[in-house]
Amino acid sequence: MASDSHHYLLPVRKLELTREWRVGRVRFLPAGAARPLIAQRRAGRAEPTPGWFDERVDELAERFDESTVAEVVCPKPDDAYEHVADALGVLRLLQHQQAPMVDTDWQTFGLPGQVSQWHVDFIDLETGPGAGFFRGGAQPGWTFSDSDHAALQADAGLEFLSAALRKDDRTRLEQRAILAARLLNTSILEHDPDQKLLAAIMALEVLLGDDAEGPQKFRLARRHAFLTCGAIMDSMCGRGRPSCPYLALDPTQKAQRAEIEALLERARSDGRVRCSEYLDVIDLYNARNRAVHDGTVGADLKAVRNALYSVYRWLVAGALRWYATCSDDDLHTLDEDIARVVRERPPEPTDSR
């Protein structure tokens, strides 16, 4: 009786690996792995296949052996594409963590159809007429080392995401993590600044948003600050040092929202009460609103990339690692964690002058 599942190999162009990787349901193998796998399968088949059939497979295998190959078992080839795309999404998040100073939007990798490049010829009627061309898109090419593989295995958040991709029956947090990763990868591969920003902010909302009372941007900013503030110094707000007023003020409480507004107004002129991690999300959410309601964020691609740096660099890692430790499958637990650190290490008083 034939199996409903098939054993697929897909090429991943311009990605080099020094060893085998397992991410989600996918096994990634270094260049040169396709033909040995095919020979092994042929050795075990019960009946020979026509020569022209093997020749076609051999032609593909020769091309596949030039790059990393992804191996996945599933019912249909389009399912295989989706599984590999999700697994590559985990690797792109790792890439940004491992090489934060590299423009990983431009220097990337992917399946056919994921990484866009273009070359356009044109004729300028005003100069001669004269001929010219321009090109754009990404520049594929990346290598993951053995140390990168060790970093993936040591990262609780990315391992949580990888494990979620292997499951059929997922928790709410696992499904949110997967959707957020897909949106983040859409943002990474997008070269239109408005669409890039919107995809990233949607990912932020999937990771940290809810339908609780009060402005969404304040809830996102508070949770973002809790997960990222002090990460670069390994001195997290409310844990390695006293918490700040931004964590102490709960945006779901109507009485405290006026205090948040007053604090934000004061931060405009008083650097002592400025929290970049909180205010960055306010700015991003305001930019999201401009894009949605005005049709554009009004910024070029470089400016949007710079604005999203902290999301890719600090938030994704912090949020996924928190997901990995949460047993309640509910973001309200995150608010309880914030309230607990505020109680244990309350904000220090500041001079309001």
- Give the model's pLDDT for residue 155: 97
Structure tokens at 321: 């690692």
Tens digit of pLDDT for each residue in 134-163?
Answer: 888 888 899 999 999 999 999 999 999 999
- Give the model's pLDDT for residue 138: 82
Indicate whether 62 and 164 sit together in one domain.
no
3-class secondary structure, 137 = strand
Task: Measure the CA–CA gap between 68 and 141, rounded to whole angstroms.
Answer: 11
Indicate whether 73 and 187 sit together in one domain.
no
Residues 6+ apart with CB under 8 A from 176: 206, 207, 323
Number of domains into which the chain is organized: 2
- Give the model's pLDDT for residue 3: 58
Task: Measure the CA–CA gap between 250 and 214, rounded to whole angstroms.
Answer: 9
- Residue 250 φ then ψ, to 5°: -95, 115
Indicate whether 87 and 159 sit together in one domain.
no
Indicate whether 87 and 181 sit together in one domain.
no
Q: Which of 39, 56, 91 is the last residue before a domain boundary?
A: 91
Task: Measure the CA–CA gap between 263 and 253, rounded to whole angstroms.
Answer: 15
Task: Measure the CA–CA gap between 245 and 251, rounded to whole angstroms.
Answer: 12
Hey, CA dihedral for 35, 39, 40, 41, is it positive or negative?
positive
Indicate whether 56 and 173 sit together in one domain.
no
3-class secondary structure, 11 = strand
- b/e sequence 130-157, b meaning 16+ C-beta within 10 Å: eeeeeeeebebebebeeebbeebeebeb
DSSP designation for 348: P
CA angle 54, 59, 65 (to 5 degrees): 115
Residue 113: left (phi > 0), alpha (psi -120 to 50), or beta?
Answer: left
- Give the model's pLDDT for residue 30: 96
Which among 71, 83, 79, 87 has a CA at the least distance from the CA of 4? 79
Domain assignment present for residue 99? The answer is: no
Indicate whether 289 and 160 sit together in one domain.
yes
Q: Which of 91, 115, 142 is the last residue before a domain boundary?
A: 91
- Residue 258 φ then ψ, to 5°: -65, -35
Indicate whether 167 and 307 sit together in one domain.
yes
Indicate whether 72 and 216 sit together in one domain.
no
Indicate whether 25 and 162 sit together in one domain.
no
Find out whether 177 and 320 touch, Cβ atoms under 8 Å.
yes
Domain assignment present for residue 104? The answer is: no
Domain assignment present for residue 149? The answer is: no
Domain assignment present for residue 197? The answer is: yes
The H or E element containing residue 121 is strand 117-124
- 31 lies in which domain range? 6-91
Domain assignment present for residue 276? The answer is: yes
Cα separation values, 311 from 92, 99, 202, 293, Å: 14, 14, 12, 23
Domain assignment present for residue 119? The answer is: no
- Give the model's pLDDT for residue 351: 63
Domain assignment present for residue 170? The answer is: yes
Structure tokens at 208: 């940290």
Structure tokens at 190: 């997008």
Q: For residue 349, how many other CB atoms are within 10 A of its CB?
A: 7
- Give the model's pLDDT for residue 337: 94
Indicate whether 162 and 87 sit together in one domain.
no
Indicate whether 68 and 182 sit together in one domain.
no
DSSP designation for 12: E
The series of mean pLDDT values per 10 residues for the chain, 353 residues long, is 77 94 98 92 79 87 93 96 98 94 87 87 90 87 96 97 96 96 95 96 95 85 94 88 93 91 91 90 95 95 93 93 89 93 89 56
Exposure of 158 by Cβ count < 10 A (0-12 exposed, 13-18 middle, 19+ buried)? buried
Indicate whether 313 and 235 sit together in one domain.
yes
- What does the longest C-alpha to C-alpha distance in the chain come to? 87
Q: Which of 35, 56, 91 is the last residue before a domain boundary?
A: 91
Hey, CA dihedral for 27, 33, 39, 40, is it positive or negative?
negative
Domain assignment present for residue 74? The answer is: yes
Cα separation values, 117 from 139, 176, 320, Å: 8, 30, 31
